Structure 1
């Protein structure tokens, strides 16, 4: 069976984890800082904070940005629910900005129009780099300066991606950037995430929220420390600490990140060539300022030209040994968000995308022969 995504683990990765298992530290040890420094240097950011998941990373990013009750967070409807849920965890309201019908990222035109009309402006905007392609971050940054909101890039799909000759994660156009290291992502730690920032104050808050709100730094304490054993809880934080085993795996994976991304770009280009003349298929569009890391390869089907339903396409492809997927169901149509007042028709571009889109397999170890089989099978199913 060919799945839509899978991790790529080699002997170096295994050896790195085994080395930690034989060491003095399984958690809160030197592997964490080593991994954080590696990712920060790769992306060109000053600080990095490793955590248990990208969801945890989004949560503490929102808290560090000051998001709370009576505030509002805006994000894209086409994302995993965590991009919106992080606002709800902080007690804030959530709203959405419809997608650009070409790139499937947050529409700048819709964002600007919504900002102009909104009586209550967002405290935080979370642009989502869908499939590994950066949003138009320079334009979002300019709007953040005009309207006074914090920008948290949800780059869960986009480690290794480029935007305007900079690496996604450098935080040139944002306050913080979040990465995911889930197994189907480009780089994996099993489960895990990270926040990058160039702001020291935000960094100190992120570190605090990651570990129960506890500090051993005398500069952050109230009063004088009782001794070298002393710590203080100065805020309400969480246990979002990554283990050293995960960090060691992540550091080992980061040594291959350019190789991983290069292969994905090769496969995406090859899909473009193989699928370009297939009736009813719309290929993913790329903004000229971006170089996607291609976490996902999403196509859309014009069902007015195809005699099959989406369910039939999924089922018949699975019969041929190929598991498709769909990224994503619009968040505002989930029952939890419908109970908050959202409804079908609120964000038409996102809803039309959902009706037409599906994700083809794409991962580092996918071979040309497997890709040929995927395309041949898709053509047979569609025709």
Structure 2
């Protein structure tokens, strides 16, 4: 049997290793000049005025909620199809989560599901956190307009979406450019399109917001120009959410090849769609909206397991036995015991339908088209498709 194909894998080359080695030989291992270089390069790449590096994607979300002043009783809207961190970061600050439903074929919050969540909130909403699932961008102009109309702020969770873009009318929106949000957060976990090992980033259109985020990521400490060199002040507590120079060196090297990695992911995703299309109606790829040009982090297919006379567990086990990894993204967060206890049982049919059908297949630059042939043929066999 061929080598096992995981659902995601980091892409590390000799130049990445050399960049980290050089950082290890430098004067700073953490809180050094490479951090600022990575921040500036990332901001320039996505088209944002400023960017702030931090220790991981969850820390980025938490810092964003702190920056907005989310506190006890403040309501924030989060789509139910996301990783736990998007909702948990609201709770870290004492805020309350109202879960929005998603489109069952894309996994995304939509203008209608946002409107429905706003009605259920029962009070003014302080923040809305759209999640660019898989790398597919939400309808940001519409979501932003709806949110701002009732006095809230938008923070985009783009953990999956570095390198993605979408055209609205004549405007091309890039993930992280913050044209329709106050902040956008990213993750550089190893299975993402680019990695820093662990790491995160917040982009923003406000230099004042960026300055405050840098204070919050480093214990809330402020050093004033001209003061004694050992002096610092803390007006309010922050966290140790800094990203070391070593990680930023890897990030800079990875960022330099982002465009090339995005091209490769788009090629592989297009080939997946070509190979999966004949397997309809039992299996189909997650929907891509008109005008969207995602750099997919996840290759998610939707499967009618009942019609195929099987279960997702049987398919996952069959793929594993054939040396093919898969994953489920995600279990609806509103069904987690903590949130059920806090908010009761919610009826979010889109999120439930997405969860019942979704399965993420291998997608990473080292994958070959012959690997995709093997994956799709194996999957078709497990579903009884000749």
Q: Name the TM tier (shorter chain).
A: over 0.9
Q: Which residue of 1 aligns with 2:46?
A: 43
Q: CA deviation at 1:235?
A: 1.5
Q: Which residue of 2 aligns with 1:362?
A: 363
1:161-214, CA deviations, whole angstroms, 9 ceiling, x for partnerless residues? Answer: 002213110000000000100000000000000000011221122111100000
Q: Which residue of 2 aligns with 1:273?
A: 274
Q: CA deviation at 1:121?
A: 2.0
Distance in 2, matches of 1:121 and 1:141, equals 15
User: Residues 177 and 196 of structure 1 are in contact (CA less than 8 Å); yes or no, is this contact kept in structure 2?
Assistant: yes
Q: CA deviation at 1:117?
A: 5.4
1:274-322, CA deviations, whole angstroms, 9 ceiling, x for partnerless residues? Answer: 0101040022111113211100011111124201111100001111000
Among 287, 294, 311, which residue is 2:313 paired with? 311
Distance in 2, matches of 1:350 and 1:326, equals 13
User: Residues 266 and 296 of structure 2 are in contact (CA less than 8 Å); yes or no, is this contact kept in structure 1?
Assistant: yes
Q: CA deviation at 1:257?
A: 0.4
Q: What secondary structure does 2:209 align onto? A: helix
1:2-57, CA deviations, whole angstroms, 9 ceiling, x for partnerless residues? Answer: 10000000000000000010010000001100100111000111111100001000
Distance in 1, matches of 2:64 and 2:121, equals 24
Aligned length: 376
1:345-374, CA deviations, whole angstroms, 9 ceiling, x for partnerless residues? Answer: 521110111111100100111111111111
Distance in 1, matches of 2:69 and 2:166, equals 27
Q: Which residue of 1 aligns with 2:332?
A: 330
Q: Which residue of 2 aligns with 1:105?
A: 108
Over 3 Å counting, the alpha-carbon distance change for 1:120 and 1:301 in structure 2 is same
1:14-25 aligned at under 5 Å gives the runs 14-25=17-28
1:200-245, CA deviations, whole angstroms, 9 ceiling, x for partnerless residues? Answer: 2211221111000001134xxxxxx651332111221000000100
Distance in 2, matches of 1:359 and 1:51, equals 27
Q: TM-score, normalised by structure 2?
A: 0.95
Q: Which residue of 2 aligns with 1:241?
A: 242
User: Residues 57 and 200 of structure 2 are in contact (CA less than 8 Å); yes or no, is this contact kept in structure 1?
Assistant: yes
Among 179, 185, 194, which residue is 2:192 paired with? 185
Q: Which residue of 1 aligns with 2:211?
A: 204
Q: CA deviation at 1:116?
A: 4.4
Q: Which residue of 2 aligns with 1:222?
A: none
User: Residues 65 and 202 of structure 1 are in contact (CA less than 8 Å); yes or no, is this contact kept in structure 2?
Assistant: no
Which 10-residue stretch deviates more, 277-286 or 127-136?
A: 277-286
Q: Which residue of 1 aligns with 2:10?
A: 7
Q: TM-score, normalised by structure 1?
A: 0.96
Q: What secondary structure does 1:12 align onto? A: helix
Q: What secondary structure does 1:171 align onto? A: coil
Among 126, 131, 135, which residue is 1:128 paired with? 131
Which 10-residue stretch deviates more, 154-163 or 285-294?
A: 285-294
Q: What secondary structure does 1:353 align onto? A: helix
User: Residues 153 and 181 of structure 2 are in contact (CA less than 8 Å); yes or no, is this contact kept in structure 1?
Assistant: yes
The runs of 4+ residues in structure 1 deviating greater than 4 Å are: none
Distance in 1, matches of 2:183 and 2:297, equals 20
Q: Which residue of 2 aligns with 1:221?
A: none
User: Residues 156 and 178 of structure 1 are in contact (CA less than 8 Å); yes or no, is this contact kept in structure 2?
Assistant: yes
1:112-191 aligned at under 5 Å gives the runs 112-116=115-119, 118-164=121-167, 165-191=172-198
Unaligned runs of 5+ in 1: 219-224
User: Residues 75 and 121 of structure 2 are in contact (CA less than 8 Å); yes or no, is this contact kept in structure 1?
Assistant: no
User: Residues 84 and 333 of structure 2 are in contact (CA less than 8 Å); yes or no, is this contact kept in structure 1?
Assistant: yes
Q: What secondary structure does 1:324 align onto? A: coil
User: Residues 282 and 302 of structure 1 are in contact (CA less than 8 Å); yes or no, is this contact kept in structure 2?
Assistant: no
Q: What secondary structure does 2:305 align onto? A: coil
1:47-62 aligned at under 5 Å gives the runs 47-62=50-65
